Structure 1
Amino acid sequence: MLIALALVARHGRVALVLGLLAGLILPGVAQMLRPWLPQMIAGLLFLTAFRIGAKAALGGLADGITTLKATLVLQLALPLIALALFVALGVADTPVAVALILMLSAPSVTGSPNITQLLGHAPEPAFRILILGTALMPFTVIPIFVLSPGLGDFRDVMAAALRLIGAIGVTVIAAFLLRHWLAPTLKQEKAMALDGLTTLALAVIVVGLMSALGPALTQDPLLVLQWLVVVMVANLGLQYVTYRWLTFRGHHTEAVPLAVVSGNRNFALFLIALPASTTDPLLIFLGCYQVPMYLTAVLMRRLYGKSQNTS
């Protein structure tokens, strides 16, 4: 079993692509998995926290300051800039503008440390910003919703954010404690097996996340294509700009993890809390958003690989 999981870890990018394809061609399976997404995402977070361990995840004071700065830029400054731009253009109420503002306001996706690791870089910075970003989300989202009342009921979003923080806190603490008790020193073969298991989890989760995309492709393929262009430019474009800026500033170690996080956000969090009138037009966005997210380890590998010799 360990050998099989290690093989999956070595071919993780292929597994993610297969998961994307399964989400498109197996709509029945996607619908079946969709109700279990919260549990599967929590399981993925547990595996990631167990794999990394508390010591490496928490880091030192300098790591904490860097993570705080990055969180405030990604979850507060960027959505405010985008909102100001959309207001100036008179398009702040359009579905595209709403989707992009919500995306930029969201914390990192749970799988960002795993994607970073698939790219051959240390996942700890991505994990730290995942935890801190989620914890700060109830505060960073306040000015966004105050300035954009059309996004939905502020109290509902706060309740969803607090539930998410509680779930992540319990999951991460449990994983850290079990790692400390059962495997304070993780051997290489077991680490590879865990990497393979988390890759399989990612591949299964994406099938459920794309449950709305398969039917939309048959009903309105042009609309799906338009949304796909939007998410590809937003996700991969933001990753590219973030990576280039950080490497230009000499932050080679954090460049890849923070770039991955910048483009891959937990947009689905808002779909849980906002009214259907706001979220229904964005369901196709969510399905399309999985494409660049799960192809990051493939499409961005050549660019991100350059920093391995300088990190």
Structure 2
Amino acid sequence: MIHALFYAPLDFMGRHATRFLFGGVLVGLLIPPLAELLRPGLVVFLLLPLTLSLMRLDWSAFQAYARRPLLFIPIIVFLLLICPLLMFAALLPLGLPRPLMEAIVLMAAAPPITGTVAIALILGLDAALAVIAMVIATALVPFTLPPLALLLLNIEVQMSLVEFMGRLALMVGFAFAAALVAHRTLPPGWLKENKRLMDGSSVLALVLFAIAIMDGVTAKLMAQPGYVILATASAFIANLSLQAIGYTVGRYVLRFDQAAALTLGILAGNCNMGLVMVSLADRAVFDMVVFFAMGQLPMYMLPGLLQPVYRRVAALQS
């Protein structure tokens, strides 16, 4: 009975992960009351995919990267500093609405989403690189995002650094602790045997997050469809541009292999706009929030659309 109710559906979602991500992200727009209902669970929906990904991580690969800490200095500088500077320079002459421009630059300044680890696992890329870069970037972003926001956009981010760092440390620490407990308590081979089940659970959490962040966006779409369409198109262009830049930097500057270079592209393009919303507090006008919400569309749709491309490029000779 339990297997039929929980295991079978999650296993099915794991086997069709990219399709669920592609279609599920639209549910929040189509069913606004559901988005409002799920919004209080945003933190949980962010944390669950990270925990599940850490449980499945190849720790030997993680340790190999951890022994080369200097490798991550250029990666973190690229993700947290170079990406927003490049985006600001590219957007400056375009004349976009000010809230939209601010939101795009802040997106580029944010750390990678926790879901990049799950995406890397689903696509067969470098999950160890993804999780280390995501964790380090998330820990450092309170030191980089506020001064960048003030310098580039004249926005003073209203947040307590100690409180924000404490929240991040609690979230990431909980995920690591839960993954460690799982490794020590689950029967040998359980994780491998239930790979698709865990994929499905990650996909479910990612979709629930995407639904929750759409709260209020449907009403905006009905009132100002032109702005929402512009924000959506900008989100796709920004995501793809950052992915292309990340892959190029990884492949030709840092000399990564194909899988690692693609992973850096995914890290650069898929940014944790939820953390930006928290850090901005009441300074984020709703037009900015709309972009953060519509920015979920490329993050959840592109892995499915581009999966054949990712795998073909990853298979190329390094």
Distance 1:7 1:163 in 2: 34
Inter-CA distance 303–52: structure 2 relative to 1 (3 Å threshold): same
Inter-CA distance 201–48: structure 2 relative to 1 (3 Å threshold): same
1:263 aligns with one of 269, 286, 305? 269
Q: Does 1:230 align with 2:230?
A: no
Distance 2:94 2:124 in 1: 42
Q: Does 1:125 align with 2:132?
A: no
Inter-CA distance 286–61: structure 2 relative to 1 (3 Å threshold): closer
Distance 2:232 2:119 in 1: 20
Q: SS where residue 141 of structure 1 aligns? A: helix
Larger deviation, residues 75-84 vs 224-233? 75-84
Alignment partner, residue 24 of structure 1: 29
Distance 1:169 1:10 in 2: 29
Deviation of the 1:153 alpha carbon: 3.4
1:34 aligns with one of 6, 28, 39? 39
Identity, % of aligned positions: 26
Deviation of the 1:275 alpha carbon: 4.6
* Conserved? CA contact 1:157–1:270, under 8 Å: no
* Conserved? CA contact 1:54–1:176, under 8 Å: no
Alignment partner, residue 70 of structure 2: 65
**CA shift digits 1:214-253 (9 cap, x unpaired):** 2222111111011111111101121123224433454213
What's the TM-score, normalizing by structure 2? 0.86
Distance 2:80 2:202 in 1: 26
Distance 1:145 1:59 in 2: 35
Distance 1:20 1:101 in 2: 23
Inter-CA distance 14–150: structure 2 relative to 1 (3 Å threshold): same
**Structure 1 counterpart of 2:28, one-letter code:** G
Q: SS where residue 274 of structure 1 aligns? A: helix
Q: How does 1:108-119 map onto structure 2 within 5 Å?
A: 108-119=112-123
* Conserved? CA contact 1:45–1:171, under 8 Å: yes
Larger deviation, residues 269-278 vs 39-48? 269-278
Deviation of the 1:204 alpha carbon: 1.9
Task: Structure 2: give runs of 5+ residues left out of the alignment.
Answer: none
Alignment partner, residue 182 of structure 2: 178
Alignment partner, residue 315 of structure 2: 309
Distance 2:159 2:17 in 1: 39
Q: SS where residue 73 of structure 2 aligns? A: helix
Deviation of the 1:32 alpha carbon: 0.2
Inter-CA distance 52–183: structure 2 relative to 1 (3 Å threshold): farther
Task: Structure 1: give runs of 5+ residues left out of the alignment.
Answer: none
**Structure 2 counterpart of 1:98, one-letter code:** E
**CA shift digits 1:12-59 (9 cap, x unpaired):** 011112311211211110110001111222222222222226544444
What's the TM-score, normalizing by structure 1? 0.88
Deviation of the 1:11 alpha carbon: 0.6
Inter-CA distance 84–309: structure 2 relative to 1 (3 Å threshold): closer
Distance 2:35 2:310 in 1: 31
2:52 aligns with one of 35, 47, 57? 47
Distance 1:90 1:256 in 2: 28
Q: SS where residue 9 of structure 1 aligns? A: helix
Alignment partner, residue 13 of structure 2: 8
Larger deviation, residues 63-72 vs 50-59? 50-59
Inter-CA distance 128–90: structure 2 relative to 1 (3 Å threshold): same
Q: Does 1:279 align with 2:285?
A: yes
Deviation of the 1:294 alpha carbon: 0.3
* Conserved? CA contact 1:118–1:297, under 8 Å: no
* Conserved? CA contact 1:135–1:165, under 8 Å: yes
Q: Does 1:94 align with 2:101?
A: no
Distance 2:83 2:211 in 1: 30
Larger deviation, residues 221-230 vs 196-205? 196-205
**Structure 2 counterpart of 1:217, one-letter code:** L
**Structure 1 counterpart of 2:270, one-letter code:** N
**Structure 2 counterpart of 1:246, one-letter code:** G
Inter-CA distance 209–53: structure 2 relative to 1 (3 Å threshold): farther
Aligned length: 310
Deviation of the 1:279 alpha carbon: 3.5
